[in-house]
């Protein structure tokens, strides 16, 4: 299932935050949404999911306008992992992951066998199977992130949108989450993730969309987007580039003066 | 973490509520044994026992059940919706508005001409509160809703005080004050049948919000992405609370703290899941109110204590304890 967001504009308090931004994510593709702080990445993601209203633009899921889908149909097609990692009550981790099955369930009955299987699979995928009975309130930051990622995966939606899924994780778990996203895409889902880590973005993403001042300023394979010129113009940084055993890599290195 | 099977918990609560209901029929100034009760009910004759039970104690027990369950259920719903363990039906101003409606009925003398005017005006007051809440905070944030609730409470409180201030004779003010203290003594089956449709209707709305409350425990953004309609959920919670608690307040006066304390005590026993807390809190609320109402009858004292006084006396210290505990756990 493909996601097409076309010419999305969002403004708040008379300030345009996202300006005619278009994003396409194809099935089986891992796409990174990058850009400096305040570029409008999270706002664009929220507008696509429908958490906030967009002023104009169209969102199509599998070719269908999102307005023609019911809330539940949309929720089954598109899973969203917000930046906000909060769990209000001391829910057991398994109950948190089971909430991913919300759009698949009806009424008050016990969860179906298919739901139990999906939850087991999601927990297995993020390596959190041993956390299931623990209260989500006593998890470490890394464990919490993995449980919430499992919640998003348990929806088993053909599209996954994740807002900074590796923020606050140690390098081991950053790599683990990137591998999980890659695997989810290779199993046929379209994945769009907001990232700040350009090194990991260059390494894992099939395609990058560069956002600056609310507008899409470049789009393409990581090598085409993370050019010296784009990094200087958008991020005001210069990067070190080198060839390693695993291929070419890039590390942000020096700040450049704002002009 | 405390582990109790959900079915066992519900069974236990149901059993205890049944026992409290039976005690409510048996305990009072005239001692009635279980045998007398069964015998008179079976014969159906108009013996003294039969009259006492069906005319006096049954309405009182049924009201305890309906009102307690409404307070517990609405409290659990509001805490889940507002994601705040210190919320209770009073926070959205419904109880105060219902009380104002009742006070107006007493003040104007309408309740003397037509006794049912009191509960009807009180229900009207709570419905008016819902309309004002929808206008003030229809699409706003949770904070707007709480602020609107505070505004409605203060205004209703001020108007209630005004009525007391301008009261034409001391008997009317005494009646108002006494009614505000909260009680389910001397009510009839007419009261039960008057509020029952509202109470059941309110419960139905509240129950429908249960699943969305679960999703809301991951925050509004996640809930929306999972397909929750936030405006519908808010409407269900606010209207359900106003209708059921408004109707409850209409016959009992203001009974505080049940809606705060009961969900709090039961939450750990249902693994903190908001949807499972709803039926448990309904039973717990009924149990607490029936028990409190039996308790006021057992205190040897000239005048019977009002139910609202007892629940506040027990509830307010509990509230203080909750604040102290949350201060410790958040390190404030």
Preferred mutation among A59, A80, A88, A100 to probe B, highest tally of B CBs within 10 A: A88
**How does pLDDT run across B194-210, given as a tens digit for each residue?**
889 999 999 999 999 99
Q: Is the pLDDT of residue A60 over 90?
A: yes
Lowest mean pLDDT among A34-38, B19-23, B216-220, B310-314: B310-314
**How does pLDDT run across B152-210, given as a tens digit for each residue?**
999 999 998 898 888 777 777 888 888 888 888 778 888 898 889 999 999 999 999 99
Confidence category of residue B139, pLDDT binned at 50, 70, 90: low
Tell me the shortest Cα–Cα distance from A130 to chain B, in angstroms: 17
Kindly tell me the sign of the dihedral angle through the C-alpha atoms of B284, B290, B295, B301. positive
Mean of pLDDT values over A13-39:
93
Tell me the shortest Cα–Cα distance from B14 to chain A, in angstroms: 19
pLDDT of residue A84: 85
Q: Is the pLDDT of residue B68 over 90?
A: yes
Tell me the shortest Cα–Cα distance from B140 to chain A, in angstroms: 13
Q: What does the alpha-carbon distance between residue A179 and residue B308 come to, in Å, rounded to a whole number?
A: 59
Among residues A51, A57, A12, the alpha carbon closest in space to that of A216 is found at A57
Residues of chain B found within 8 Å of residue A100, distances taken between Cβ atoms = 226
Question: Is A247 exposed, middle or buried (CB count within 10 Å of its CB: 0-12, 13-18, 19+)?
Answer: exposed
Question: Is B82 exposed, middle or buried (CB count within 10 Å of its CB: 0-12, 13-18, 19+)?
Answer: buried
Residues of chain A found within 8 Å of residue B272, distances taken between Cβ atoms = 89-92, 135
- Say if A90 is an interface residue toward chain B (CB within 8 Å): yes
Confidence category of residue B8, pLDDT binned at 50, 70, 90: very high
pLDDT of residue A247: 76
Of the partner residues A84, A102, A135, the one whose CB lies closest to the CB of residue B227: A102
- 3-class SS of residue B5: coil
Q: How far is CA A199 from the centre of its chain?
A: 17
**How does pLDDT run across A96-153, given as a tens digit for each residue?**
999 999 999 887 777 888 899 999 999 998 888 888 778 877 888 888 888 999 999 9
Question: Is B116 exposed, middle or buried (CB count within 10 Å of its CB: 0-12, 13-18, 19+)?
Answer: middle
Q: Is the pLDDT of residue B229 over 70?
A: yes
In this structure, the strands spanning A56-61 and A159-163 are unpaired
Q: How far is CA B173 from the centre of its chain?
A: 24
Helical pair B230-252 and B58-82, crossing angle rounded to 10 deg = 150
Residues of chain A found within 8 Å of residue B218, distances taken between Cβ atoms = 86-88, 96, 99, 148, 151
Confidence category of residue B1, pLDDT binned at 50, 70, 90: very low
Q: Quick one: DSSP state of residue A221?
A: S
Mean of pLDDT values over A43-65:
93
Residues of chain B found within 8 Å of residue A88, distances taken between Cβ atoms = 83, 216-219
Predicted TM-score (pTM) of the model is: 0.89
pLDDT of residue B205: 95
Q: What does the alpha-carbon distance between residue B159 and residue B103 come to, in Å, rounded to a whole number?
A: 9
Largest CA distance in chain B: 64
**How does pLDDT run across B276-313, given as a tens digit for each residue?**
999 999 999 999 999 999 988 887 766 778 888 888 88
Check: CB of residue B241 under 8 Å from CB of residue B203.
no
- B225–A87: do the CB atoms touch at under 8 Å? no
Residue scoring higher pLDDT (A78 or A257): A78
pLDDT of residue A259: 65
Q: Is the pLDDT of residue A6 over 80?
A: yes
The contact set of B with A (CB < 8 A) is 1, 83, 210-211, 214-222, 224-229, 267-268, 271-275
- A80–B271: do the CB atoms touch at under 8 Å? no
pLDDT of residue B100: 92
Mean of pLDDT values over B127-139:
81
**How does pLDDT run across A163-216, given as a tens digit for each residue?**
999 988 889 989 999 999 999 999 999 999 999 999 999 999 999 999 999 999
Q: Is the pLDDT of residue B82 over 70?
A: yes
- B218–A100: do the CB atoms touch at under 8 Å? no
Confidence category of residue B34, pLDDT binned at 50, 70, 90: confident
Tell me the shortest Cα–Cα distance from B209 to chain A, in angstroms: 11
Report how far apart, in Å, the C-alpha atoms of A155 and of each of A86, A99, A187, B154, B219 are.
Answer: 18, 8, 14, 45, 17
- B227–A103: do the CB atoms touch at under 8 Å? yes
Of the partner residues B221, B271, B274, the one whose CB lies closest to the CB of residue A84: B221
Q: What does the alpha-carbon distance between residue B112 and residue B107 come to, in Å, rounded to a whole number?
A: 10
């Amino acid at each position: 299932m493909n996601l097409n967001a076309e010419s999305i504009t969002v403004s708040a308090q008379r300030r345009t935050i996202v300006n005619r931004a278009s994003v396409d994510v194809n099935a089986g593709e891992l796409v990174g949404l990058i850009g400096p702080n305040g570029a409008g990445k999270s706002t664009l993601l929220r507008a696509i999911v429908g958490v906030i209203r967009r002023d104009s633009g169209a969102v199509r899921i599998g070719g269908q306008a999102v307005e023609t889908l019911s809330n539940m149909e949309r929720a089954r097609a598109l899973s969203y992992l917000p930046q906000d990692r909060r769990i209000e009550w001391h829910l057991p981790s398994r109950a948190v992951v089971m909430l991913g099955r919300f759009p698949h369930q009806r009424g008050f009955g016990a969860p179906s066998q298919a739901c139990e299987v999906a939850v087991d699979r999601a927990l297995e995928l993020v390596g959190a199977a041993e956390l299931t009975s623990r209260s989500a309130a006593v998890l470490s930051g890394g464990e919490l992130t993995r449980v919430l990622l499992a919640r998003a995966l348990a929806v088993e939606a053909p599209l996954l949108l994740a807002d900074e899924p590796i923020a606050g994780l140690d390098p081991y778990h950053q790599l683990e989450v990137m591998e999980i996203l890659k695997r989810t895409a290779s199993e046929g889902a379209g994945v769009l993730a907001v990232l700040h880590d350009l090194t990991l973005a260059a390494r894992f993403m099939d395609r990058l969309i560069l956002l600056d001042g609310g507008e899409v300023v470049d789009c393409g394979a990581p090598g085409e987007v993370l050019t010296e010129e784009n990094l200087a113009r958008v991020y005001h940084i210069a990067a070190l580039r080198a060839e390693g055993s695993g291929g070419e890599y890039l590390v942000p290195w020096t700040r450049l003066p704002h002009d | 973490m405390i582990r109790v099977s959900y079915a066992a918990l519900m069974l236990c609560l149901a059993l205890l509520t049944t026992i409290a209901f039976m005690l409510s029929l048996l305990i009072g100034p005239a001692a009635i044994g279980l045998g007398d009760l069964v015998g008179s009910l079976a014969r159906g004759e108009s013996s003294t026992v039969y009259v006492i039970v069906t005319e006096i104690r049954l309405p009182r027990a049924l009201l305890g059940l309906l009102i307690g369950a409404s307070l517990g259920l609405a409290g659990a719903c509001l805490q889940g919706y507002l994601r705040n363990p210190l919320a209770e039906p009073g926070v959205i101003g419904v109880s105060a508005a219902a009380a104002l409606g009742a006070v107006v009925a007493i003040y104007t003398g309408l309740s003397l001409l037509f006794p049912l005017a009191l509960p009807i005006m009180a229900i009207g007051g709570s419905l008016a509160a819902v309309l004002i809440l929808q206008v003030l905070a229809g699409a706003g944030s949770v904070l707007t809703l709480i602020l609107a609730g505070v505004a409605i409470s203060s205004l209703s409180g001020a108007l209630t005080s005004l009525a007391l201030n301008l009261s034409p004779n001391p008997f009317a003010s005494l009646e108002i004050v006494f009614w505000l203290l909260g009680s389910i003594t001397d009510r009839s089956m007419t009261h039960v049948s008057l509020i029952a449709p509202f109470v059941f209707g309110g419960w139905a709305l509240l129950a429908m919000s249960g699943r969305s409350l679960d999703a809301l425990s991951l925050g509004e953004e996640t809930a929306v992405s999972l397909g929750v309609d936030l405006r519908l959920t808010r409407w269900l919670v606010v209207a359900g609370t106003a209708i059921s608690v408004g109707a409850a307040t209409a016959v009992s006066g203001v009974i505080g703290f049940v809606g705060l304390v009961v969900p709090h005590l039961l939450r750990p026993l249902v693994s903190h899941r908001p949807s499972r807390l709803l039926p448990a809190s309904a039973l717990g609320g009924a149990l607490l109110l029936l028990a409190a109402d039996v308790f006021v009858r057992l205190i040897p004292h000239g005048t019977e204590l009002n139910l609202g006084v007892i629940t506040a006396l027990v509830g307010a210290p509990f509230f203080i304890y909750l604040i102290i505990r949350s201060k410790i756990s958040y390190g404030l």
